[in-house]
Amino acid sequence: MNVMEETLHLEPEQFDLLVSEVMDELPQEWAPLLDKMAVVVEDEPTDDDLPSGSPPETPLLGRYRGTASMQLIGGGLAGPAVAAPPEIALFQGPLERASSSLEDLRHLVRDTLVQQIGRYLGYSEEPPDEDEELADEEEGEI
């Protein structure tokens, strides 16, 4: 008997709600930072989102899209031009396909958000875990 593994799939509203809940659980000190950026949910990454040189089978779960100084909205007669906020895109399809359960999906969304926020802050890799930072501080104490 061949049992096909069912892929986790949420309705867009359910997925948006999950993302909102995960964002609410992020450290409180990140709130001012998150207020300055847009977090959007898209079904799938576009070809433009895929990093150059990455194997095509590598799933892209999220993407930080910084804004170039040339990306201005408005201006002219409407008043001064406003820079578009930096954006983090979460890709629902790849995130769901990489998850085996709702709890797994929740962790993956959180990890992807943290990783993309790290990119916004200038980290090339994930920022250190709070637990690791505490361990490092304790090691330094005599």
Q: Which band of pLDDT confidence, cut at 50, 70 and 90, is reported for residue 126?
A: very low
d(CA 131, CA 95): 25
Please choose, from the candidates 1, 22, 19, 2, the residue with its C-alpha nearest in 3D space to the C-alpha of residue 11.
19
d(CA 6, CA 97): 10
Q: What is the mean pLDDT of the chain?
A: 79
d(CA 105, CA 98): 8
Q: pTM here?
A: 0.73
pLDDT at 134 over 80: no
Q: What is the dihedral of CA 73, 76, 78, 84, to 10 degrees?
A: 10
Please choose, from the candidates 99, 77, 80, the residue with its C-alpha nearest in 3D space to the C-alpha of residue 90.
99
d(CA 54, CA 61): 13
pLDDT at 141 over 60: no
pLDDT tens sequence across 84-99: 788 999 999 999 999 9
d(CA 108, CA 91): 11
pLDDT at residue number 104? 96
pLDDT at residue number 53? 76
pLDDT tens sequence across 15-55: 999 999 999 999 999 889 888 889 999 999 988 888 777 77
